Structure 1
Amino acid sequence: MTSTTDPSAHTDHGRRQRHRTALREASPLEVSAMLSETATVGPDPAPAQPPALPLDIPSGPGFLSGTAGESVPVTHGGRTYRVREGDDLPSVAARFGVSAPALVELNGLGRRPRLRPGQILSLPERRPSSGAAAVRVRPGDTLASIAAAQHRSRADIRRANAMGESSLIVEGELLALSGSGAMSQRPLRRPEDLGELPAVAADAHGYPEETVLAARINKRSLTARAIPSRRAARRMIETVAAEHGVDPQLASAVAQLESGWHHGVVSPGNAIGIMQVTPHAAWTASVRIARRLDVLDARDNVTAGVVILAALTDVAADEREALSAYYQGLRSVRAHGPYPDTARFASSALIIAERLRAEVRR
């Protein structure tokens, strides 16, 4: 159950805008099976060395062709695109409503797909958007991710389901993908109908009410999930980090500061779990590795955090800037410099990482 702001507006690969001034500008609550997150900004430059795609992605026909779950042979759609400065694989895929794996397959881009300005990409055939009449909400879905997968706008889906300005969706419900909503039988969902919700981990003063509500919903959802021990979480972080070419001790240091290696922690800003990943950041990481990630699942949460850290390490000047960007967002760090709490976070993470490295060397 997750919610997000506009995933088509790719963020600094940082997982959230933690600062409350930014949170006041956050989009309204979007609960997809039911989580939420905060406002985002424009794309960062493409990394100098893109992370490798996961090994379990098939290398032959059968890649997803712009849909969330249907495997079809990739075919040329009769369209091409000239790569521009700053483009990367996820941004091009999102712009044309196709999947990143389909672009990789059709253009033979390999496991480390690097796009060059001026490069001509063949675009896969896009599935007609009139296919499915409705879609059932799955755990981790958001209104925005459903809209992107089905090549609709969020406004179209809201209209079809008589949702008004709400973005609240519930796991298991059936959403119409088109229509005026005049015949919709979908019940209106209000926060007061959600029942008793647990408190989040810190003072929520100054955070948007909708964001805090989503965080509390996510906190309740986590109680129904398996919460690994801190020891198991740390082993998981080290394993996933090694798989993605990230220093395991650096990733562990981030997780220790963020959550104390505890998956049950949810911040008032709706940063969730071990790596304190927002739903939108998880969505961005999902696009980057071409695999759907559920931010409430401990291993997927770690994967999202590690993928974000890997992307930041690729483009940052050094580890300190990468850590600052993980906490604050790279674009914000470069525009405004690290905020005081960001600087403390980065310094602490570097100290903890060095201590963990020393332990490994013994």
Structure 2
Amino acid sequence: MVASQVPTQRITITRAPAKYIVKAGDTISAIAKRHGLSTDAVLQLNRMNTRTIIYPGQQIVVAGSAVAAPKTGPTAPVAVPRGAATYVVKSGDTLGAIASRHGVSLQSILASNKLTQNAIIHPGQKITVGTTAVAPVAPAPAPKPAPTGGSYTVKAGDTLGAIAARNNVALAGLLQANGLSMTSIIHPGQALKLTGSPAGTPTPPKTVQPAPAPASGSYTVKGGDTLGAIASRNSVSLSSLLTANKLSMTTVIYPGQKLVIPGRGSTPAPAPAPAPTGLVPSSFLGYTYPDRVVADANANKALLNSLPAPSPAQMQQIVADTARSMGVDPSLALAFAFQESSFNQRAVSPANAIGTMQVIPSSGVWASELVGRKLNLLDPQDNATAGVAIIRSLIRTSPSLDIAIASYYQGQYSVTTNGMFNDTKQYVAAIKGHQKNFR
């Protein structure tokens, strides 16, 4: 960064020693420049990639021959012996992935290692994972054929995305087979159907018949229910449902729970309204999105329209407070929120990017893994948390702030592979301009 901002400054290149000890504030590109090497050379010498996080005290090889790239082809999985209690972190690992790989909950990993949900792990670090049977720690074997039936019992720490990936079924198929949505909350002991097409195969939309309206003034919560959906199905306002049951917008409901339906007696409920359409356009910047994605976007837009939402000023404060608590420059987080939605929590794009920070559901799953808990993108606080968590991760894993900003818009892999597109360059300039206004 200094070299780019002060181009007239002469930087002395020293003879490269065999190893270099990382100091606070170091980056791979800065270390490479200091020792007269290219960034790619240092990455290859240390078996790293552009997403690898380095830490103070770590030894970096800065001389010698580049390590040969691993041979392609099937690799026999390395097994963790029965009774092994530790795991050595490898590049690209996350605590959530380590927990899933060893069949233990994320909470147990955090507790066993005295870590927090925001802790940063690094290659070579030893993580206590408890006693396990044989567990693969090398590249995963070829995916198994998609199941045509069967069920899966939810365990502590599971997410719908992880369950779908583990059983090689499409997430959309898993949701439809169980009458769930991206915002559904699952719980340990819950049985899920595993019918569906393999992951990556488009799943045709399926109409889920709503449960019949109760004949009395109560309703029993079912898997996949949300407070907004229950209120709509029973033709009552969400606020009256919350008041009648002494709940708030952040209350978690669970299957089997009984809710009072205010103002309902034995009168049958009217037929449910058809799925909303026309709330969200089908195209943006010349690209038309698949019907299923637009349908999901319309459903989320309708739900957000039915929910209480913070004012733009309140949402701005939520984003700023969240950024401070997560160690991100508030002016940068506010710049993203302003550019993406002008602090409008009810905003939904044709790509089904949701809320103030415009986070798509798959990115919401990633953000949930980054913070160690399931985030509901329809909730204002969780939406801000998801956006800030993604910004923080991109800053930590990108060689420059401009690339981190571009990655939020274009995707980090695409920026690394293709460079910034013209509209991405305009986006980066806009974010930096907004940031100056929020300082």
User: Taking structure 2 as the reference length, what is the TM-score of the superposition?
Assistant: 0.53
> Which residue of structure 2 aligns with residue 29 of structure 1?
none
> Which residue of structure 2 aligns with residue 287 of structure 1?
369
> Which residue of structure 2 aligns with residue 315 of structure 1?
397
CA gap of 1:44–1:178, structure 2 versus 1, over 3 A, is: farther
Give me the whole-angstrom Cα distance separating, in 2, the residues matched to 1:110 and 1:142.
19
Q: Which runs of 5+ in 2 are unaligned?
A: 1-48, 56-81, 133-150, 197-204, 211-273
> Which residue of structure 2 aligns with residue 203 of structure 1?
283
CA contact 1:324–1:333 (8 Å) conserved in 2:
yes
CA contact 1:283–1:292 (8 Å) conserved in 2:
yes
2:409 equivalent among 313, 322, 327: 327
> Which residue of structure 1 aligns with residue 312 of structure 2?
230
2:347 equivalent among 230, 250, 265: 265
> Shift of the alpha carbon at 1:83?
2.0
> Which residue of structure 2 aligns with residue 123 of structure 1?
129
CA gap of 1:336–1:172, structure 2 versus 1, over 3 A, is: closer
CA gap of 1:179–1:286, structure 2 versus 1, over 3 A, is: closer
> Which residue of structure 2 aligns with residue 8 of structure 1?
none
Any idea what the Cα deviations from partners look like across 1:88-125, whole Å, max 9, x if unmatched? 32332343343333222212345653433333332246
> Shift of the alpha carbon at 1:323?
0.8
State whether structure 2 residue 97 is matched by structure 1 residue 86: no
Give me the whole-angstrom Cα distance separating, in 2, the residues matched to 1:156 and 1:246.
31
Give me the whole-angstrom Cα distance separating, in 2, the residues matched to 1:111 and 1:156.
25
CA gap of 1:145–1:85, structure 2 versus 1, over 3 A, is: closer
> Which residue of structure 2 aligns with residue 169 of structure 1?
180
Give me the whole-angstrom Cα distance separating, in 2, the residues matched to 1:250 and 1:348.
11
CA contact 1:275–1:305 (8 Å) conserved in 2:
yes
Amino acid at match of 1:190: T
> Which residue of structure 2 aligns with residue 19 of structure 1?
none
The 5-angstrom pairing of residues 138-149 of structure 1 reads: 143-144=160-161, 147=164
Give me the whole-angstrom Cα distance separating, in 1, the residues matched to 2:161 and 2:355.
21
CA contact 2:117–2:372 (8 Å) conserved in 1:
no
Amino acid at match of 1:234: Q
> Shift of the alpha carbon at 1:77?
7.2
2:426 equivalent among 304, 324, 344: 344
Any idea what the Cα deviations from partners look like across 1:324-353, whole Å, max 9, x if unmatched? 011111121111111111111111000110
Q: CA RMSD in A?
A: 3.9
Give me the whole-angstrom Cα distance separating, in 2, the residues matched to 1:341 and 1:245.
29
CA contact 1:45–1:87 (8 Å) conserved in 2:
no
Give me the whole-angstrom Cα distance separating, in 2, the residues matched to 1:287 and 1:353.
27
Amino acid at match of 2:206: R
Q: Say which SS state the counterpart of residue 177 (structure 1) adopts.
A: strand
Give me the whole-angstrom Cα distance separating, in 1, the residues matched to 2:397 and 2:380.
26
Give me the whole-angstrom Cα distance separating, in 1, the residues matched to 2:417 and 2:54.
20
CA contact 1:77–1:123 (8 Å) conserved in 2:
no
Amino acid at match of 1:237: V
Identical pairs, percent: 32
1:103 equivalent among 88, 103, 109: 109
> Which residue of structure 1 aligns with residue 336 of structure 2?
254
> Shift of the alpha carbon at 1:46?
4.2
CA gap of 1:77–1:305, structure 2 versus 1, over 3 A, is: farther
CA contact 1:223–1:264 (8 Å) conserved in 2:
yes
User: Taking structure 1 as the reference length, what is the TM-score of the superposition?
Assistant: 0.63
CA gap of 1:306–1:156, structure 2 versus 1, over 3 A, is: closer
Give me the whole-angstrom Cα distance separating, in 2, the residues matched to 1:222 and 1:343.
31
Give me the whole-angstrom Cα distance separating, in 2, the residues matched to 1:101 and 1:134.
18
> Which residue of structure 1 aligns with residue 51 of structure 2?
45
CA contact 2:336–2:431 (8 Å) conserved in 1:
yes
Q: Which runs of 5+ in 1 are unaligned?
A: 1-42, 50-75, 127-131, 136-140, 182-187, 358-362
Give me the whole-angstrom Cα distance separating, in 1, the residues matched to 2:107 and 2:50.
21
Amino acid at match of 1:296: L
The count of residues paired between Structure 1 and Structure 2 equals 269
Q: Say which SS state the counterpart of residue 353 (structure 1) adopts.
A: helix
CA gap of 1:94–1:335, structure 2 versus 1, over 3 A, is: farther
Amino acid at match of 1:338: M
CA gap of 1:191–1:270, structure 2 versus 1, over 3 A, is: farther
Give me the whole-angstrom Cα distance separating, in 2, the residues matched to 1:353 and 1:107.
38
Amino acid at match of 1:91: A
Q: Say which SS state the counterpart of residue 121 (structure 1) adopts.
A: strand
2:206 equivalent among 166, 189, 195: 189
CA contact 2:275–2:299 (8 Å) conserved in 1:
no
